[in-house]
Structure 1
Amino acid sequence: MYKRILAAIDWTPHTEAVLDQTRQLASLTGAAVLILHVRATDFPSLPSILGTLAGQALAGEPAGNDASSVARRMVDDAVAVLATAGLHAEGLLLESTPGYTPRAVLDQARKLDVDLIVLGSPHHGGPSALFRSNVADEVSRHAKCPVLIVP
């Protein structure tokens, strides 16, 4: 059924649900998973950066010195969660200009010939809700493979 699944994550509270659904589907089908995060270089996600830095401080880990290293750590952590479940997973962090996220997800899905794209629901609250809904809407409209939108 699915051989390659692309899970696009954005570090919202819904990321855990996206990873959980991806884990379940990959476990059932034996699919390989690519974890993708597209970081808009002009708009780093301050709440997620602060949360990660606080978590690192509490764990006594050295903090990265920029948003890119924090984002890389989050992608690596997501890959580790899936690997712990016995799945083959790889991570990819892309940096782009604001508004390019849907295109970056779609380009990677085509480039990697994935069978399924999994991403978070477009119905989020908060200041970046419009941006996230745009990503889910654009990906679901233009994808050449099935798209699972996780609430």
Structure 2
Amino acid sequence: MKQTITHILCATDLSKHSAYTMCHAASIAASTGAKLHLVHAVQPLSDETRTALQMYMQTTGSSETAEKARHDHAKAIMAERQRAFWDHVSEEDKGIRAQVASIELIDGYPAEVILRRASELNCDLIVLGAHEHGFSHTFLGTVAKRVLRRSNIPTLVVPYRGTAAHN
């Protein structure tokens, strides 16, 4: 029996190398006709970081302003990475962009965000990149290991490819 892929969740860490992972997810979406959902998790600040922000930013609301600026910066990077990715896609493949159903920045721990959104969106496949240092860091990055360990749907881990970001 052939399993149909209708929704793909592609998790990005916003690194310059995440385009390689996106390329694989877009290729699978193109060949299956699946909707593509892009997600980036903005990891919560640690208690130590919050304390440091409060100590060094004495004015009321400064730490909240810093957190909002952090989130806005991640949103700007995601928009730039998307623009750069689609600028490098060949003309014949630009139609794949219409299959992008959502692009989200979500506050939370990456593995939990990825698994929760995949479930909420009824995804059939998760695509994420290996840790930037390849299959080191005990073979996979911590996020990839956590997703693989807990996912109940197929999960594709794309190895880090150095400068081959758009190939």
Percent identity between the aligned chains? 27
Q: Aligned partner of 2:156: which letter?
A: L
- Structure exhibiting the larger radius of gyration computed from Cα positions: 2
Deviation at 1:79, TM superposition (A): 4.9
Q: Aligned partner of 1:93: which letter?
A: L
Preserved CA contact (<8 Å) 1:119 1:149: yes
Out of 107, 112, 116, the position equivalent to 1:103 is 112
1:36 maps onto 2:44 in alignment? no
Structure 2: unaligned runs, 5 residues or longer: 47-67, 160-167
1:94 maps onto 2:94 in alignment? no
Q: Work out the CA distance in 1 between the residues paired with 2:6 and 2:81.
A: 19
**Structure 1 residue aligned with 2:150:** 142
Q: How many residue pairs align between the two structures? A: 123
Out of 67, 82, 101, the position equivalent to 2:70 is 67
Deviation at 1:101, TM superposition (A): 1.6
Deviation at 1:75, TM superposition (A): 3.0
SS of 1:148's equivalent?
strand
Q: Work out the CA distance in 2 between the residues paired with 1:18 and 1:78.
A: 12
Question: Counterparts in 2 of 1:40-55, with a 5 A limit?
Answer: 40-42=43-45
**Structure 1 residue aligned with 2:164:** none
Q: Work out the CA distance in 1 between the residues paired with 2:145 and 2:86.
A: 26
Per-residue CA deviation, residues 61-103 of structure 1 (Å, 9 max, x unaligned), is xxxx82211211233345554697223212010112xxx2211
Q: Aligned partner of 1:95: which letter?
A: D
Q: Which has the higher contact order (CA 8 A, sep 6+)?
A: 2
Q: Aligned partner of 1:115: which letter?
A: D
Q: Give the TM-score, by structure 1 length.
A: 0.70
Preserved CA contact (<8 Å) 2:14 2:78: no
Structure 1: unaligned runs, 5 residues or longer: 44-64
